[in-house]
Chains A and B, each alone.
Chain A
Amino acid sequence: MTASSSLSVPQLTDDLSTPPLTLGQLGWLRFRRHKMALFGGVTLILLLIFSIGGAFKYAEKYANFNDTAQRLKPPSVEHPFGTDSIGRDILARTIYGGQISLFIGFMAVLIETILGILVGAVAGYYGGAVDAILMRITEALLNIPTIFLLLVMAKFFGGKIPEIHIGARAFSGSVVVIVVIIGATSWMYLARIVRAEFLSWKEREFVLAARATGTSNLEIIFLHILPNTIAPIIVSSTLSVANAILAESYISFLGMGVQEPTATWGNMLDKSAKYLDTAPWLWFFPGMLILLTTLSINFVGDGLRDALDPRSRAI
């Protein structure tokens, strides 16, 4: 009986089912498959073009230019989104309002991501008393509905920051205030996620190995463990942008947010409630824009969550 030695491997005609790919490549391939996520991504890009590109068509002066003779006009060729209660063109205001709203969204998330990572990483890595204290603070903040926190902080900081001038444009100081307070009241969710990740990753052997070779704690946290936790951070941060934009619109709507004449989608809605029956275009356009933005971000975030799921290696 002829039998090849058990050590020789015959020619294989079938190959490995999954070619080796980086997480990024894998993520993109899988993201592409989610039609809704792609739709969300495309819509977001369109919205960005609207807000940034639109500024080239309408000067900011125009957005703030009011002609009371033209007040409350319904949508027309001259004013595609109509005019508001003091005669300003709504389309132009939504363009500039979009800039502010989106800017606030992204900047607030930047702050909250940094804070969240710092708190979560330190609490998760060092554990013990540090963890306990940080977690008590996190929980305490989580125990108050965000709106209350936001409103109180908005009142606290309100009016304390003067107008900012960048180039030819003027921004109400309240923009900075809003960015800071939204960032300061939403980091807790990310902190919890990051902490949980760190708790599990710090037990891995490569961390032990790094410590044994004398790597500093800071290096371990930021160069070794943190890169492994990128996926949930990306997903959480993406979804947070939607929350931040919503938060800004809520406080602006309640009159405590960005102040006139700087427009945001939120404060445009604030003025519209009075004219509900006579001028629905006042709330419809800004409202729809907020909806489209948060919807797209949520779609993209959902797609990212599936695409970056480290447990599944299938394409």
Chain B
Amino acid sequence: MFQFVIRRLLQGVVLLLILSIALFLLMMNLGDPIATMGSGRALTRPEDRARLTRQLGLDKPIAVQYLYWLAGNDWTKVDSDGDGVPDKNGTRVGIVRGDFGTSLVTRKPVSEMIGERIPNTLILMVASEIITIVFALVIGIYSALRQYSVLDNFLTTLLFIGYSMPVFFVSLMSMYIFAVLFKKWGLPYLPTVGMFDPQIGKTLTQVLWHMVLPVTSLSVIYFAAYSRYIRSTMLEVMSQDYIRTARSKGLPRRQVVYVHALKNAALPIVTVIGLDLPFLLGGAVVTERIFAWPGMGRLFLDHLSRADVSVVMGILMLVAVAVVIFQIITDIFYAWLDPRIRYN
């Protein structure tokens, strides 16, 4: 088991390295970050631009830039005043030591910027995931047990529609109904912008209230997809021989379904949910944009459009790391859950 974990970790590291190289190459060609840096007059003279370019190390070959990004530059001399002559050691320690670099736009450390925004995104994601799982389990199991019934057919169709919808359609529709129409009809309506009302402040109720619409948008689609998957997994499990054996022993239906069937269905369900979790971040990008939620997704969008390599790479690598970690966790969890793997 230990060997298994080590092997997966090593594979993960190799994967991340490959990814980082590919992404870095892509990033280098995104455009000229100097051009988007705002301080107006100071950057219009070519000499100033050249100086800044040298200071930021953007004149170095790509391989060197990648190396600095990966392992820092505090072990070598860099040109800190931009005059073309390397003078003192750099201040970066590289991503392997946790230094995500500095934003080319805001000049703040990227880790700080991401750190500010990540909790907000996590709030949305965790809430969506919990709601999705709970509802999907309920509907999925219910629908599997009532196969062929009118309700099952109706639900199946509804779920189908649900997971064919683009996220922003759900968002726009829910915004329209619960914010605009409700307001028009004089009903209490839900807020659609940001995380809290700046006049009231960042209270728990404010945040919760503001969370409703974004979380709903995110959840609807995943919930529809998971329900279908849980339903089909349960159906497959319920048709297995060992369920027939359990019934022939005269066990009550509840026990047959929730112990015998569910324990088996849990294996593939857990795998799917676990592997899918980090991909929820993708949905967050769109949702945060629509609802002006101050999360990591918005940070990504804002800085991508300004070719801010450090921030974009930082976020991308973070996401990739999250995916790899979740894969490993899911694998381990599955191996632990399935006695056929655990006892071998």
Which A residues lie at the B interface, using CB under 8 A? 36, 136-137, 139-140, 143-148, 151-153, 155-156, 242, 246, 249-250, 253-256, 269, 272-273, 276-277, 280, 283, 287, 290-291, 294-295, 298-299, 302
Q: Known: A148-B300, A155-B307. Contact between A287 and B172, CB under 8 A?
A: yes
The reply to whether B169 and A291 form a contact with Cβ atoms under 8 Å apart is: yes
The reply to whether B26 and A140 form a contact with Cβ atoms under 8 Å apart is: no
B9 is an interface residue with CB less than 8 A from chain A: no
Q: For the complex formed, measure the closest distance between the CB of A17 and the CB atoms of chain B, giving whole angstroms.
A: 23
What is the CA–CA distance of A249 and B281 in the complex, to the nearest angstrom?
18
5 additional A-B pairs beyond A273-B172, A291-B169, beta carbons within 8 Å, are: A140-B19, A143-B15, A147-B283, A249-B168, A283-B172
Q: Closest A-chain residue to B157, C-beta based?
A: A36
What is the CA–CA distance of A246 and B168 in the complex, to the nearest angstrom?
10
**Interface 1/0 per residue, B154-172 and A, CB below 8 Å:** 0001001101111111001
What are the residues of chain A within 8 A of B192 when measuring CB–CB?
276
Q: Known: A249-B166, A290-B169. Contact between A144 and B323, CB under 8 A?
A: yes
The reply to whether A155 and B169 form a contact with Cβ atoms under 8 Å apart is: no
Q: For the complex formed, measure the closest distance between the CB of A277 and the CB atoms of chain B, giving whole angstroms.
A: 4
What is the CA–CA distance of A145 and B278 in the complex, to the nearest angstrom?
8
B205 is an interface residue with CB less than 8 A from chain A: no
**Interface 1/0 per residue, B267-307 and A, CB below 8 Å:** 00000000000110111011001100000000011001101
B175 is an interface residue with CB less than 8 A from chain A: yes
The reply to whether B168 and A269 form a contact with Cβ atoms under 8 Å apart is: yes
Q: For the complex formed, measure the closest distance between the CB of B314 and the CB atoms of chain A, giving whole angstroms.
A: 12
What is the CA–CA distance of A227 and B192 in the complex, to the nearest angstrom?
52
8 Å CB contacts to A: which residues of B157-201? 157, 160-161, 163-169, 172-173, 175-176, 179-180, 192
The reply to whether B304 and A152 form a contact with Cβ atoms under 8 Å apart is: yes
What are the residues of chain A within 8 A of B312 when measuring CB–CB?
152
8 Å CB contacts to A: which residues of B4-30? 14-15, 18-19, 22-23, 26-27, 29-30
Q: Closest B-chain residue to A242, C-beta based?
A: B164
Q: For the complex formed, measure the closest distance between the CB of B128 and the CB atoms of chain A, giving whole angstroms.
A: 14
The winner among A139, A148, A255 for most chain B CB atoms within 10 A is A148
**Which label, helix, strand, loop or mixed, suits the secondary structure of the A interface?**
helix
The reply to whether B290 and A273 form a contact with Cβ atoms under 8 Å apart is: yes
Q: Known: A152-B304, A276-B176. Contact between A254 and B166, CB under 8 A?
A: no
What is the CA–CA distance of A294 and B282 in the complex, to the nearest angstrom?
19
What is the CA–CA distance of A153 and B26 in the complex, to the nearest angstrom?
8
Q: Known: A140-B19, A140-B22, A155-B305. Contact between A148 and B319, CB under 8 A?
A: yes
Q: For the complex formed, measure the closest distance between the CB of B82 and the CB atoms of chain A, giving whole angstroms.
A: 27
Q: Closest B-chain residue to A287, C-beta based?
A: B169
What is the CA–CA distance of A254 and B323 in the complex, to the nearest angstrom?
23
What are the residues of chain B within 8 A of A242 when measuring CB–CB?
164
Q: Known: A156-B30, A276-B176. Contact between A140 and B304, CB under 8 A?
A: no
B71 is an interface residue with CB less than 8 A from chain A: no
What are the residues of chain A within 8 A of B172 when measuring CB–CB?
269, 272-273, 276, 283, 287
What are the residues of chain B within 8 A of A298 when measuring CB–CB?
160, 163-164
Q: Closest A-chain residue to B175, C-beta based?
A: A276
Q: Residue A145 contacts which of B23, B282, B327 (CB distance < 8 angstroms)?
A: B282
The reply to whether A156 and B19 form a contact with Cβ atoms under 8 Å apart is: no
Q: For the complex formed, measure the closest distance between the CB of B125 and the CB atoms of chain A, giving whole angstroms.
A: 12
Q: Closest A-chain residue to B327, C-beta based?
A: A143
**Which label, helix, strand, loop or mixed, suits the secondary structure of the B interface?**
helix
The reply to whether B23 and A152 form a contact with Cβ atoms under 8 Å apart is: yes
The reply to whether B168 and A156 form a contact with Cβ atoms under 8 Å apart is: no
The reply to whether A136 and B31 form a contact with Cβ atoms under 8 Å apart is: no
The reply to whether A290 and B166 form a contact with Cβ atoms under 8 Å apart is: yes
The reply to whether B286 and A143 form a contact with Cβ atoms under 8 Å apart is: no
B324 is an interface residue with CB less than 8 A from chain A: yes
What is the CA–CA distance of A153 and B29 in the complex, to the nearest angstrom?
10
Q: Residue A277 contacts which of B166, B180, B286, B327 (CB distance < 8 angstroms)?
A: B180
The reply to whether B285 and A147 form a contact with Cβ atoms under 8 Å apart is: yes
Q: For the complex formed, measure the closest distance between the CB of B163 and the CB atoms of chain A, giving whole angstroms.
A: 8
What is the CA–CA distance of A290 and B167 in the complex, to the nearest angstrom?
11
The reply to whether B15 and A136 form a contact with Cβ atoms under 8 Å apart is: yes
The reply to whether A156 and B26 form a contact with Cβ atoms under 8 Å apart is: yes
Q: Known: A147-B282, A155-B304, A295-B160. Contact between A253 and B168, CB under 8 A?
A: yes
What is the CA–CA distance of A247 and B323 in the complex, to the nearest angstrom?
20
B320 is an interface residue with CB less than 8 A from chain A: yes
Q: For the complex formed, measure the closest distance between the CB of B22 and the CB atoms of chain A, giving whole angstroms.
A: 7
13 A-B pairs (CB sep. < 8 Å): A36-B157, A144-B319, A144-B320, A152-B23, A155-B31, A156-B30, A253-B166, A255-B305, A256-B305, A276-B180, A283-B176, A287-B172, A291-B169
Q: Known: A140-B19, A254-B285. Contact between A148 and B168, CB under 8 A?
A: no
Q: For the complex formed, measure the closest distance between the CB of B310 and the CB atoms of chain A, giving whole angstroms.
A: 14
The reply to whether B19 and A143 form a contact with Cβ atoms under 8 Å apart is: yes
The reply to whether A254 and B286 form a contact with Cβ atoms under 8 Å apart is: yes
What are the residues of chain B within 8 A of A139 when measuring CB–CB?
15
Q: For the complex formed, measure the closest distance between the CB of A134 and the CB atoms of chain B, giving whole angstroms.
A: 13
The reply to whether A152 and B316 form a contact with Cβ atoms under 8 Å apart is: yes
Q: Closest A-chain residue to B280, C-beta based?
A: A145
What are the residues of chain A within 8 A of B320 when measuring CB–CB?
143-144
What is the CA–CA distance of A163 and B168 in the complex, to the nearest angstrom?
28
The reply to whether A148 and B282 form a contact with Cβ atoms under 8 Å apart is: yes
What is the CA–CA distance of A64 and B307 in the complex, to the nearest angstrom?
31
What is the CA–CA distance of A96 and B8 in the complex, to the nearest angstrom?
49
The reply to whether A280 and B319 form a contact with Cβ atoms under 8 Å apart is: no
What are the residues of chain B within 8 A of A280 when measuring CB–CB?
176, 180
8 Å CB contacts to A: which residues of B253-276? none
Q: For the complex formed, measure the closest distance between the CB of A145 and the CB atoms of chain B, giving whole angstroms.
A: 3
What is the CA–CA distance of A242 and B173 in the complex, to the nearest angstrom?
20
What are the residues of chain B within 8 A of A143 when measuring CB–CB?
15, 19, 320, 323-324, 327
Q: For the complex formed, measure the closest distance between the CB of A238 and the CB atoms of chain B, giving whole angstroms.
A: 13
User: What 8 pairs across the A-B complex have the smallest Cβ distances?
Assistant: A145-B282, A147-B282, A287-B169, A277-B180, A295-B164, A294-B164, A143-B323, A145-B279
